[in-house]
C-alpha cells in the first residue's frame, strides 16, 4: 500500500491550484496530500484511521519541502459529522474542533476503499484501506457535503464499475459530477478506474478517456503530461 498509480492519478488530476484549504481523506503514506501541496499554496489537512499510516505520512511530510503547510491527523472523517464517533485523544479532540467548521475546504481528495463482498486480507491495515467497511460511498458523500466550501469540489479515483454507485450517493447529498476521466490501463483494453469530481452545482460535461500505456506498454504522452512533475525520471 505504498505509492500506487491510483493515488498519483488523483493527486495530479484534481483541481487544487487555486485552493486555500484542502482535505485528504485516507491519506495513507501522505502521497496525495503532498501532491496537492506541491501543486498549490494551500494548507492541507491529511487524515487517516490507521495510526501506523499517520506516523509514516508524518515522516514523509516532515522530509518534504511542504511540511509547513501539511498537517497529519489520526481521525475518522465520520467523527466530524457524527458525534457518536469519539476521537482517540485530546489532540484529536482539538483537531476535530478545527474540522467541525462547516463548508471549510475548497477541495476534498479521496482514494477511497472500494472492495465489497470480497475475500479480506488477514492484514488489518490492508483490509481497512481496501474495503468499504470503514468508509462507504454514502459516508464519504455525506462528509464531503458537510465540509466543502460553497464552490468546493470532491475529487476521487474509484473502480470504473462503481461510478454509478458513487454518483447516486453524491446526488443524495446535493453533490453532482463536474468532471470525469475514464482510465484505461493499456490501449485497447477495458476501463479499470474512473476519476470523478463533484460539486454542489455540477457541470455539463463529456467524460474523457486516459490510456496509461500504449499497445507496446510504453507510457502514453497524455499520461506523461499528467504525472511527469511527480517522478524523478519519466
Number of domains in the chain: 1
Q: Which secondary structure element, helix H or strand E, spans residue 9, and what is its range?
A: helix 5-13
pLDDT value of residue 129: 40
Q: Which residue has the higher pLDDT, 35 or 83?
A: 35
Q: Which residue has the higher pLDDT, 11 or 78?
A: 11
Q: Could you tell me the pLDDT band of residue 35, with boundaries at 50, 70 and 90?
A: very high
Per the CB < 8 A criterion, the answer to whether 54 and 87 are in contact is no
Range of the domain at 208: 5-230
Q: Could you tell me the pLDDT band of residue 124, with boundaries at 50, 70 and 90?
A: very low
Q: Which residue has the higher pLDDT, 230 or 125?
A: 230
Phi-psi region of 89 (alpha: psi -120 to 50; beta: other; left: phi over 0): beta
Using a pLDDT cut of 70, give the percent of the chain over it. 79
The residue among 114, 129, 100, 109 whose CA lies nearest residue 46 is: 109
pTM score, two decimals?
0.85
The CATH number linked to 100 is: 3.40.50.150
For 185-210, the pLDDT digits (tens) are 999 999 999 999 999 998 899 999 99
Per the CB < 8 A criterion, the answer to whether 29 and 61 are in contact is no
Average pLDDT, the chain: 84
Amino acid at each position: 500500500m505504498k505509492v500506487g498509480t491510483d493515488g498519483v492519478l488523483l493527486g495530479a488530476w484534481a483541481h487544487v491550484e487555486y485552493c486555500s484549504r484542502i482535505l485528504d481523506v485516507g491519506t495513507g503514506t501522505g502521497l496525495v496530500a503532498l501532491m496537492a501541496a506541491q501543486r498549490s499554496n494551500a494548507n492541507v489537512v491529511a487524515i487517516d484511521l490507521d495510526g501506523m499510516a499517520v506516523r509514516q505520512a508524518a515522516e514523509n511530510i516532515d522530509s518534504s519541502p511542504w511540511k509547513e503547510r501539511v498537517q497529519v491527523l489520526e481521525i475518522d472523517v465520520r467523527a466530524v459529522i457524527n458525534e457518536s464517533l469519539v476521537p482517540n485523544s485530546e489532540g484529536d479532540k482539538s483537531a476535530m474542533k478545527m474540522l467541525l467548521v462547516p463548508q471549510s475546504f475548497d477541495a476534498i481528495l479521496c482514494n477511497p476503499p472500494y472492495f465489497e463482498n470480497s475475500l479480506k486480507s488477514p492484514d488489518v491495515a490492508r483490509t481497512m484501506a481496501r474495503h468499504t467497511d470503514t468508509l462507504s460511498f454514502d459516508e464519504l458523500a455525506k462528509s464531503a457535503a458537510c465540509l466543502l466550501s460553497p464552490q468546493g469540489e470532491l475529487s476521487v479515483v474509484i473502480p470504473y464499475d462503481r461510478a454509478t454507485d458513487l454518483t447516486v450517493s453524491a446526488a443524495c447529498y446535493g453533490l453532482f459530477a463536474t468532471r470525469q476521466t475514464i482510465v484505461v490501463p493499456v490501449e485497447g483494453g477495458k476501463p479499470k478506474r474512473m476519476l470523478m469530481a463533484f460539486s454542489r452545482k455540477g457541470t455539463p460535461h463529456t467524460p474523457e478517456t486516459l490510456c496509461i500505456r500504449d499497445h507496446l506498454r510504453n507510457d502514453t504522452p497524455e499520461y506523461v503530461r499528467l504525472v511527469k512533475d511527480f517522478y524523478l525520471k519519466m
